[in-house]
Amino acid sequence: MEELQQPLPERLDLFTCIQCGKCTGGCPVSIKSPLNIRRVIRESTVREDLHIFFDRLEIWDCTTCSTCAIRCPRGLRPVDAIIGLREMMVEEGRIEKTIIDALDGAYKYGNPWGRAKNKRAEWAQDLEIPNALEMDPGQVLYFVCCAASYDPRVQVVAKSLVTVLRAAEVSFGILGNKEVCCGSEIRRMGEVGLFEMLMEENMKNFTKIEPKTIVTTSPHCMNALKNEYEGLDSEVLHYSQFVWRLIEEGKLSFNTEVPMKVTYHDPCYLGKQNGVFDEPRDVLKSIPGIELIEFGRCRENSLCCEGGGGRMWMEGTGIGKRLSEVRVEDALEMGVEAIITACPFCLLTLEDAVKTTGNEEKIKVIDLMELASMGLGVTPEVE
């Protein structure tokens, strides 16, 4: 907390910015939003009072995809300036009701939708997954997190992952109702204190069971656990990495042909932020019948779906076409039958865009684990 008290530009070293503009040049939302990240950086170093940013709704347009940080030749993290401004807004209570509700839900119930704690493991009711707290140390812990626990659409992904893990005879457990939100989105909405609280709560359990490997549903949780949780010794993997390892080790193979022409949408938190580009593609290609066609904008250049950085709870300026719609239209042009992705937020935003562009009959959005489950002959049931 000490460092928080330093003014933003000092804390993030923003005075060393050379204003080259590569950040704005690569920023996916700058195509449509008044958000100009280069300008935000400049202004934050010359303005006496950062309160001027409080009325700028575009601060909430940022999806924290972090393209700006990857492109910055000075190695700065412009995205953190946005998060820093949000921290100030949260600190002074100058935030929208939807965000207050999300933070409140995470504080009281351990999930940003404010759903009941004791319903967290309901999705797994009939699956008889062992309680990780009763397992011996050194095992695999599946960290489900909020979207996969509560959103019926994402529950299908969690169930599919269970199908895949079982096919490979992996013994693993979940924390059940003892799990709380990883806090990634909470931090990005500017509530560092609450993030730390959630981290401590999860860390208590991690330290108790000392898992060898923690596998996450979402790249957002993977990123938080791997890069932001302090003192976590376990290996943290996104499911795409873990499943690819199972295939490589010969523990898993797909026996059912899934004849489908697909493209793969790189989730920002998996690809850009953690360099995991190949594993999901390798998993895809090992499913018989799958033909993968790449987006023009793929890998490091992948177009963000706008699902992260608190955008689930806060629309920002809401100006311009949704990038998820652009993505769906690009995919249609490529003539694929499905967009495959590996992140709950991408899944939701892209699926929503298929609806809003009126293309439900023409294209599907499928999570990588759902596809893998199909490759094992188990068709996941989506409501």
Ligand X SMILES: Cc1cc2nc3c(=O)[nH]c(=O)nc-3n(C[C@H](O)[C@H](O)[C@H](O)COP(=O)(O)OP(=O)(O)OC[C@H]3O[C@@H](n4cnc5c(N)ncnc54)[C@H](O)[C@@H]3O)c2cc1C
Which one of the spans 20-28, 193-201, 278-286, 314-322 is the region binding other proteins (CB under 8 A)? 314-322
Contact between 341 and ligand X per CB under 6 A = no
**Which of 41, 214, 312, 366 is the binder for ligand X (CB under 6 A)?**
312
Residue numbers 254-283 binding other proteins by CB under 8 A: none
Does the footprint of ligand X cover residue 211 (CB under 6 A)?
Answer: no
Closest alpha carbon to 344 in 148, 143, 63: 148
With tokens 């806090």, the residue in question is: 183
Q: Does 97 bind ligand X (CB under 6 A)?
A: no
The partner in contact with residue 349, picked from ligand X, other proteins, none with C-beta cut-offs of 5 to 8 angstroms by kind, is ligand X
Binding residues with ligand X: total (CB under 6 A):
7
Q: Is 102 in the site for other proteins (CB under 8 A)?
A: yes
Q: Which sign does the torsion angle of CA 257, 262, 267, 271 carry?
A: positive
Amino acid letter, residue 212: K
Separation between Cα atoms, residue 33 and residue 160, nearest integer Å: 37
Map 99-165 to HEC letters: HHHHHHHHHHHCCCCCCCHHHCCHHHCCCCCCEHHHCCCCCEEEECCHHHHHCHHHHHHHHHHHHHH
For ligand X, the closer CB: 145 or 209? 145
Shortest CB 153 distance to other proteins, Å = 6
Residue 98 contacts other proteins per CB under 8 A: yes
For residues 144-173, which are near other proteins according to CB under 8 A?
Answer: 150-153
Residue 348 in contact with ligand X, rule: CB under 6 A: yes
The answer to whether 322 and 306 have CB atoms below 8 angstroms apart is: yes
Question: What is the rounded CA–CA span in Å between residue 180 and residue 116?
Answer: 11
Residues of span 110-129 touching other proteins by CB under 8 A: 113-114
For residue 292, the cross-strand partners are 262
- Enumerate the β-bridge partners of residue 229: none
**What span, in angstroms and rounded, lies between the C-alpha atoms of 23 and 195?**
26
Residue 379 beta carbon to other proteins: minimum distance, rounded to whole angstroms = 16
CB of 345 to other proteins, least distance (A): 11
Q: How far is the CB of 133 from ligand X (least distance, A)?
A: 32
Q: What angle do CA 315, 57, 4 make, to 5 degrees?
A: 105
Contacts of residue 214, defined as CB under 8 A and 6 or more positions apart, other chains included, come to: 140, 141, 142, 143, 206, 225, 234, 235, 236, 237
- Does 101 engage in binding with other proteins (CB under 8 A)? yes
The one among 167, 312, 323, 338 contacting other proteins by CB under 8 A: 312
Q: Rounded to the nearest whole angstrom, what is the least distance from the CB of residue 295 to other proteins in the complex?
A: 23
Closest distance between other proteins and the C-beta of residue 170, in Å? 28
- Asked if 349 touches ligand X (CB under 6 A), the answer is yes
Q: Which residues bind other proteins (CB under 8 A)?
A: 97-98, 101-102, 113-114, 150-153, 311-315, 318, 322, 348, 352, 355-356, 383
Q: Which residues bind ligand X (CB under 6 A)?
A: 307, 311-312, 348-349, 352, 355
